[in-house]
Amino acid sequence: MNSSNANMLRTNSTWTHEIGAVVRKEFRTELRSKSATYTSFMLSGVTVFTLAFAFYGRELTSEAAAGMLWAALLFAGVGTLTRAFVAEEEQGTGDLLRMWARPHAVYWGKFLFAAAQMALTAAMVALLFLMLTGVGVKELPMLAATLLGGSIALAGMVTLVSALISRGNNRSTLAGVVALPLLVPLVALGVSALRNALDGFSISTGWMGCLGVWLYTIVVLAGAPFQFAAVWGEI
Amino acid sequence: MIKCDRLGKRYGRRWLFRNVDLEVQPGEVLIIGGRNGSGKSTMLKVMAGVLPATEGTVFRGKDHRLDLGYAALDQPVYPVLTVAEHLELSAELRGCAPRTDELLEEVELAYAKEAAGRHLSTGMRARLKLALAIQAEPAAILLDEPGAGLDERGRGVLHRLIESRRERTAFVIATNEQLERQYATHELDLDS
């Protein structure tokens, strides 16, 4: 085979093709190992049940409920999604991705899988939390939009954090330390939106909070792939 | 072709290698030798782009995904993906034809096409990594201890693979094995 024949082996690779390949790899790996699913269910389930038992028989204010729901989401999200790159580095397969894939394809592929996983976790956590605590929802579309936006933002940010910490020592502590300051604006906006979605006290303030969550999501997704590309080869 | 310009790698205060200038053209085989811990594998990792260089640059072709192949003894594979899925994933990401059956025939691994990575023996993993390294028929191939872990038949596969490509491919091989050294057109001893 000469060099022109070698060129014939090359196909027209597109971003969607490459991102799709990473997403399929993530789903295949998860369907077979189920490690993230079990971790996510365990972390979110334990948090929600603990909170529900702690407040059993007492009426929860919408402020406290919104804060607790976000705490449960953060706990499950940071605990599960940071595995994205940590698992690759622990099993030594991160080098395969470095050699085969462009950094943006790796980030978007990992992010899309994480976003799907987080959205599912958020829906489950919210449903379980509302059922066990008996808190009512006045603005269901606001609740859904905030949880969806929050899940996407969490996935986008934590995927980046996971890449940053993947080769460090004491990764679980590092994940919290690095992620927490970056997630403070999201939590502040998200709590405001959820509080108003639960009690319906100020609809406009609630929607402003929800809009803020989505703007945060846009900022994260506009910047994180470039930051990831800058550090991916240096990790 | 692969070219290194003043390449250096340091861990802490210790330089594993420094000021390495080299260029390997198609038709040439560079053998990197040296005792254990001398930095052979690290040099190949830096050349492959899986480890950052402390100083210097490496030219790996226009698109390293297609122009460079790399196989190392200590490189793990995905434990839950099958042999065929590794080749499909690599092809999709790099933008080349998967050639799954053809490559598995060449490295004599067709019988394990549906076996998961975690069920492969060291020798089977080595064959899979060889198949991945040659998949895009790159202009340069880096092999780190390629004979280690291979049985007699596996070594035969490795030598046919090098023999059939040496005219059009630049090879850089980190090894102390006499069998692979026979192909050397140039040698670099990291002990000296």
Domain boundaries, chain A: 22-232
* ipTM reported for the complex, 2 dp: 0.89
Cα–Cα distance measured from residue B192 to residue B183, given in angstroms and rounded to the nearest whole number: 21
Assess A233–B contact: CB distance below 8 Å, yes or no. yes
* pLDDT at position B22 over 50: yes
The token pair that represents B56 in the structure block: 């210097």
Task: Say if pTM beats, i.e. exceeds, 0.80.
Answer: yes
Distances (CA, A) of B166 to A49, A156, B143, B174, B177: 64, 45, 13, 16, 18
Domain CATH number, residue B174: 3.40.50.300
**Domain of B80?**
2-189
Scanning B4-43 for CB atoms below 8 A from A yields none
**Among candidates A13, A92, A105 on the partner chain, residue whose Cβ is nearest the Cβ of B75:** A92
Q: Which of A121, A158, A155 is nearest to A45 (CA)?
A: A121
Q: In DSSP terms, which residues pair with B172 in a beta bridge?
A: B30, B142
Q: How many CA atoms lie within 13 A of B68 on its CB side?
A: 28
B94 three-class SS: helix
Q: Are A21 and B89 in contact (CB under 8 A)?
A: yes
Contacts of A87 in chain B (CB under 8 A): none
Task: Tell me the pLDDT tens digit for each residue of A142-182.
Answer: 999 999 999 999 999 989 988 888 777 677 777 778 888 88
At B60 the three-state DSSP class reads: coil
Candidate from B64, B90, B95 with C-beta closest to A12? B95
DSSP string, A20-39: HHHHHHHHHHHHHH-HHHHH
Interface contact flag, A98 B79, Cβ < 8 Å:
no
- For residue B159 the two structure tokens come to 């030598």
Percent of chain A's residues with pLDDT above 90: 46
- Using 50, 70 and 90 to split pLDDT, how confident is the model at A4? low
Q: Name A221's Cβ contacts closer than 8 Å, sequence gap at least 6.
A: A111, A152, A156
A19 in reach of chain B (CB within 8 A) = no
Residue B173 has pLDDT above 60, yes or no: yes
Domains in chain B, number? 1
Which residues 30-49 on chain A approach chain B with CB closer than 8 angstroms?
Answer: 32-33
Out of A1-10, A119-128, A152-161, A183-192, pick the least confident.
A1-10
Residue of chain B minimizing CA distance to A102? B93
Cα–Cα nearest to A66, from A197, A217, A205: A197
- Asked if B139's CB is within 8 angstroms of A17's CB, the reply is no
Q: Does the pLDDT at position A1 exceed 80? A: no
- Cβ of residue A4 closer than 8 Å to a chain B Cβ: no
